[in-house]
Amino acid sequence: MVPHLAGRQNLTVVTNDIYKVTSLFAYPEVETIRTGGVVDQSSASSCGRIAADVVKAINIEMFFLRTGSWNMAPGVSPHPRWTRSR
């Protein structure tokens, strides 16, 4: 998806994906916000409370979502690591 952002103006990308952040370096006109949080090495992404708090703190007009799993009943499911009680 990142190559399709070339030349876009007034665009901010919010992502937890470390590889997406580095690929956006080639597009300095696109403002990039990385959510932060605990790094999940298996997916090269950030997750957990810090990442969720960052997303809660910003106003997103449009988004594209990739998730660990889908289920028609409950909907989107987070990574199992974050569903255990602490």
Domain coordinates of the chain in residue numbers? 2-82
Rounded to the nearest 10°, the torsion over CA 48, 53, 56, 74 is 30
| Helix residue spans in the chain (DSSP H) | 18-23, 49-56
In the predicted structure, residue 2 carries a pLDDT above the cut 80: yes
Q: Give 79: exposed, middle or buried? Use CB within 10 Å, 0-12, 13-18, 19+.
A: middle
Residues 6+ apart with CB under 8 A from 60: 14
Q: What is the mean pLDDT of residues 54-64?
A: 87
pLDDT band for 63, please (50, 70, 90 cuts). confident
In the predicted structure, residue 78 carries a pLDDT above the cut 70: no
Residue keyed to tokens 């952002």: 5
Q: What is the pLDDT of residue 28?
A: 92
pLDDT in tens, 41-56: 888 888 888 988 998 8
Q: What is the pLDDT of residue 69?
A: 59
